[in-house]
């Protein structure tokens, strides 16, 4: 039984990532809004674009706290943000969906999302992902590290110095691997399951433009930031 220990600098890294992750929570809680009222497809679409716009701003702040990120090539920093913004939004949505809620709230939330305007064909892959994230019962540190690992994916489009990104991602993966072994000692395959979710997350990437343009309404308006990030309009 090899002794797993997180080094002092890895503890410091985890604390930086966790503080950044907690500091940059979404200001107002989208789940609360959805549980309060039933909205029209237009109102839901507007809510999504507002939430997603603030989520991108939050993501930029979060990445600035990832040690080493700001010393990457500046164009690569943009390429990593652009390449991971959609996945970060779905990962965040999954974490919001799988949060412990009072009895029956998750069912109401799911029903509201099913009727929000997203076309039927995307419901299964989206909720399968949300539920598979929920089954993992991730602790905050794991959620924060998984978001940082998603951002530091070396093979995003237009990344020039992939090795520099790989080095940063590897140090995050090493901390996450140790954390998983310590948090889930009876589940040696837990770390692998966590990384498997990132593969599932990428498939949602393929759907997202269609999910937006097929939203049950005409004349879909996006903010300039989302046009940049979401390849729409």
Ligand X SMILES: O=C(Nc1ccccc1)[C@H](C1CCCCC1)n1c(-c2ccc(Cl)cc2)nc2cc(F)c(F)cc21
Binding positions for ligand X, 162-181, rule CB under 6 A: none
Residue closer to ligand X (CB basis): 109 or 175: 109
The residue from 72, 85, 96, 159 that contacts ligand X (CB under 6 A) is 96
Residue closer to ligand X (CB basis): 43 or 174: 43
DSSP code at position 97: H
- In the complex, minimum distance from the CB of residue 71 to ligand X, in angstroms, rounded to a whole number: 28
For every residue of 103-169, DSSP letters joined together read TTHHHHHHHHHHTSS--GGGHHHHHHHHHHHHTT---HHHHHHHHHHHHT-TTSTT-S-HHHHHHHH
Please give the span between the terminal C-alpha atoms of the chain, in angstroms, as a whole number.
Answer: 55
Give the number of residues in contact with ligand X, rule: CB under 6 A.
Answer: 22
Residues 6+ apart with CB under 8 A from 80: 63, 69, 72, 151, 152, 153, 156, 159, 165
The residue from 77, 93, 153, 169 that contacts ligand X (CB under 6 A) is 93
Binding mask 27-66 for ligand X (x = CB under 6 A): ---xx--x---------x--xx--xx--x-----------
- In the complex, minimum distance from the CB of residue 82 to ligand X, in angstroms, rounded to a whole number: 16
The answer for 158, left when phi > 0, alpha when psi is -120 to 50, beta otherwise, is left
Helix (H) or strand (E) holding 47: helix 41-64
- Select the span of 140-148, 164-172, 180-188, 207-215 touching ligand X (CB under 6 A): 207-215
85-98 b/e (C-beta count within 10 Å ≥ 16 → b): bbbbbbbbbbbbbb
The residue from 66, 79, 80, 89 that contacts ligand X (CB under 6 A) is 89
Residue closer to ligand X (CB basis): 168 or 204: 204
Q: Decide: is 208 part of the binding site for ligand X (CB under 6 A).
A: yes
Q: Decide: is 97 part of the binding site for ligand X (CB under 6 A).
A: yes
Question: In angstroms, rounded to a whole number, what is the distance separating the alpha carbons of residues 46 and 41?
Answer: 9
Binding residues vs ligand X (CB under 6 A): 26, 30-31, 34, 44, 47-48, 51-52, 55, 89, 92-93, 96-97, 109, 113, 116, 118, 208, 211-212
């Amino acid at each position: 039984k090899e002794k797993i220990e997180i080094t002092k600098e890895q503890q410091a890294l985890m604390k930086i990532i966790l503080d950044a992750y907690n500091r940059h929570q979404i200001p107002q809680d989208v789940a609360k809004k959805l549980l309060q009222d039933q909205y029209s497809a237009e109102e839901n679409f507007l809510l999504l674009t507002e939430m997603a716009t603030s989520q991108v701003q939050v993501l930029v702040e979060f990445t600035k706290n990832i040690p080493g990120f700001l010393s990457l090539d500046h164009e690569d920093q943009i390429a990593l943000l652009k390449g991971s913004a959609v996945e970060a939004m779905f990962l965040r949505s999954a974490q919001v969906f799988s949060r412990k809620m009072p009895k029956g709230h998750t069912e109401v939330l799911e029903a509201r999302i099913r009727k929000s305007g997203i076309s039927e064909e995307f419901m299964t892959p989206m909720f399968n992902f949300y539920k598979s994230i929920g089954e993992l019962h991730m602790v905050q540190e794991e959620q924060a590290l998984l978001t940082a690992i998603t951002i530091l994916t070396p093979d995003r489009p237009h990344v020039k110095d992939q090795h520099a990104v790989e080095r940063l991602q590897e140090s995050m993966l090493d901390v996450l691997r140790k954390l998983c072994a310590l948090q889930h000692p009876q589940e040696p395959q837990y770390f692998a399951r966590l990384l498997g979710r990132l593969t599932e997350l990428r498939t949602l990437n393929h759907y997202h433009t269609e999910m937006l343009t097929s939203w049950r309404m005409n004349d879909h308006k996006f903010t300039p930031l989302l046009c940049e990030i979401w390849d729409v309009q």
